[in-house]
Amino acid sequence: MKSFANFPENYELIDAGGGRKLERWGTVTTIRPEHQAYFGAVLSKKEWMNVADWEFIPKSEGSLQGVWKKLNPQAPEEWIFSTAGLRFKLRITNNKHLGLFPEQQINWEFLSTHLNASKRFLNAFAYTGAASLFGRKTGAEVIHCDSVKNMLDWGKQNQVESDLEGIKWVQEDALKFIQREVKRGNKYDIIQLDPPAWGIGSKGEKWKLEDLLGTLLSEAIQLLNKSGVLILNTYSPKIDVAAINKISKELAIPFKRMENSELWFKTTSGKELYYGIVTRIYK
C-alpha cells in the first residue's frame, strides 16, 4: 500500500528525475542524488540551476561521500530550518545528508498524536533527533540512542534551538542498548527504529540490516508495554514488504497486528518518488 507523506512545513520537494532531486529547505534549495529518481524530470536543467543554492557531487556513483558545489555565492553553509514549532540546524557536510529526513513527517505526525506526558518513547538509530524532539514536545519521556557522537551532539544542538530539555542521550549501538534494556526489564510505549541499510557500531563493528533485522525486531518488541507500538523505517534494496512479512511470521513473540506501507512523496511538479517502507507493529 502506498502512503504519501505530506511535506513538512517550510519544506518542498520541487522536482525529481535523472537520478537527482530538487528540494527547498526554508530559504535554501539543494540538488542531491536520488537513485529512485530513474525517470525524467519535469523541469529543465536550466530551471533547476536557476533556483538551486547547492549541488552535491558524489565521489562515485551511489556514494554518500562527495563534495557540495556552491551555486549561489550567498548560500549559507549552515542554517536553521523551522517546522511545526521546532528548529533544526541544517548544514553542508562531506556527505549528501543535511541533518533531516523530511519524509519522516509521516512518523512525526504519529508521534505527535500518540505520545503524551504519561508515555515513554525510545528513538533508536536516532540520527540528529527529529523524532526525539517531536516526542519530547508532547511531554513524553524520551530516550535517544545513536552510536555516533557527532550525531548526538547535533541532536543536542537541535534540542537547544527548539527550546526543549530533558531528552536522555545514549551513545551506544542500538541493538546492544535494546538488548540491555530487555535484561533490565524496562518498557516503552512507542519505539522507533530507523536503521541504515548497513551500519557501524560504537566500537567500529560492521553489520548489514538484512542479517540483523529479525533479531532487532524480536528484541525491540520485548520492550513494548501492553498496547505499545513499534515503528520500523527501512530503505534498503534487500528489504521489501515480503521480507518484513516473512521475518514477522518467524518471530516468537506475538503481536496484534502489523501495518506495512510504502512511503512516497509527490513532487510539486507531479512526479512520485519512493522513500522506503514504514512498518508499524502493534503489540
| pLDDT in single tens digits along all 283 residues of the chain | 788 889 999 999 999 999 999 999 999 999 999 999 999 999 999 999 999 999 999 988 777 789 999 999 999 999 999 999 999 999 999 999 999 999 999 999 999 999 999 999 999 999 999 999 999 999 999 999 999 999 999 999 999 999 999 999 999 999 999 999 999 999 999 999 999 876 665 566 666 777 788 899 999 999 999 999 999 999 877 778 888 888 877 776 678 889 999 999 999 999 999 999 999 999 8
DSSP SS3 for 132? helix
Between CA 93 and CA 98, with CA 96 as vertex, the angle to 5 degrees is 60
Segments of the chain assigned to CATH 3.40.50.150:
102-282
CATH superfamily of this structure's domain 8-91: Golgi alpha-mannosidase II (2.60.40.1180)
Segments of the chain assigned to CATH 2.60.40.1180:
8-91
CA distance 109 to 29: 24
- φ/ψ of residue 235, rounded to 5: -140, 70
From the list 132, 133, 149, 128, the residue with the least C-alpha distance to 78 is 128
CATH: 3.40.50.300, 3.40.50.150, 3.40.30.10, 3.30.413.10. Which one for 102-282? 3.40.50.150
What predicted TM-score, i.e. pTM, was given to this entire model? 0.93
